[in-house]
Amino acid sequence: MSLITQYGPHLPFLRRYARALTGTQASGDAYIRASLEALGKDPSLLSESSSPRVTLYRFFHAIWATTGAKLEAAGTAGTFPPEMRLAVLTPLRRQAFLLTSLEGFNRPEACEILGVSISELETLIDEAHQEIEKQLATNVLIIEDEPIIAADLANLVEDLGHTFAGNAVTRRQAVDMARKIKPGLILCDVQLADNSSGIDAVQDILADFDLPVIFITAFPERLLTGERPEPTYLITKPFQDDTVKAAISQALFFHAKTVHEPS
C-alpha cells in the first residue's frame, strides 16, 4: 500500500490540528510541509503504530519536537507572537488537550502519539484546562438553522461561563446581529435556512470585526481543500460536547492573547 493511499485521508485533519496547535494557518502548514519533506526523503522514519492515523500524528510530533523552534523563529523575523511563545513554553499540555478533545483520540492513542503514560497525560490535560480557564468570558453568536443544535450549542457556551448572545439562521440575520451585539466569538454552520452560506456570512462579519470563528458542519472536507484560506477551528457534525468546548477554549485563548498583547 502506498504512503498516499495509507495516510492521505488523514492529512486534511492533521492540517486542521497543526493550525489549531500553532494558532495560525501559515505556521501549521509549515510544520506539515516539514513533516512531508522529511518523510519523502526517508519513508523508513515512519514507525508503525496501532493505526495509520496514530502513526501519522506520532510522526508529526517527532518533527514538531525536533524542528519547531527553528520554524517558529523563521516565520516571525526574530520576534515571537504570543501564541508562538506559548507553543515553545508549554507544547505538551496543548498537544494532549487537542489530541483528546479536538481530534478525538482516546487516552491510549494519545499516550502512544506523545510517548507518555496515562497518568502523565491526565496531568497534562488538567494543566491545559487550567491555562485555558484563564480566558476572559465573552459573548457568543451562534449561526445555526437547526433549533435543537442551536440550543445545544447555547448550553455549551453558557457551561463554559460565556454569554449566549443570540442565534441567527440566515446570512443577513447573522450580519445584522453581529453588528448589533459585537460578539467575541462565532459558532457557525455552513448551510443556512434560506440556502445562504455561513461562510459568506462570516466573511461579511470579519470585514467589520476581528474575532475568532468556529465552523460546525457535516462536511468538513469541503473546507479543508487547501484551495483557499481555511478555518483554523472546524468541527464535524454530529459533534461531541467536549470537542466544541475544546475548540471554544482554544479559539479564545489564541485570539485573546494576540489581540491584547501590549505593543
Residue 262 reports pLDDT greater than 70: no
Q: Are 109 and 181 in contact (CB under 8 A)?
A: no
pLDDT on residue 228:
58
Provide the pLDDT confidence category of residue 188 given band limits of 50, 70 and 90: very high
pLDDT on residue 161:
85
| Residues listed for the chain | 263
Quote the CA–CA distance of 76 and 253 in Å, as a whole number.
20
Longest Cα pair distance anywhere in the chain, in angstroms?
56
pLDDT on residue 19:
84
At residue 198's C-alpha, the angle toward residues 192 and 199, to 5°, is 150
Residue 177 reports pLDDT greater than 70: yes
pLDDT on residue 256:
57
| CA torsion through residues 121, 126, 131, 136, sign | positive
Averaged pLDDT score across all residues of the chain: 81
Burial of 4 (0-12, 13-18, 19+ CB in 10 A): exposed
Torsion of CA 223, 229, 232, 236, to 10 degrees: 0
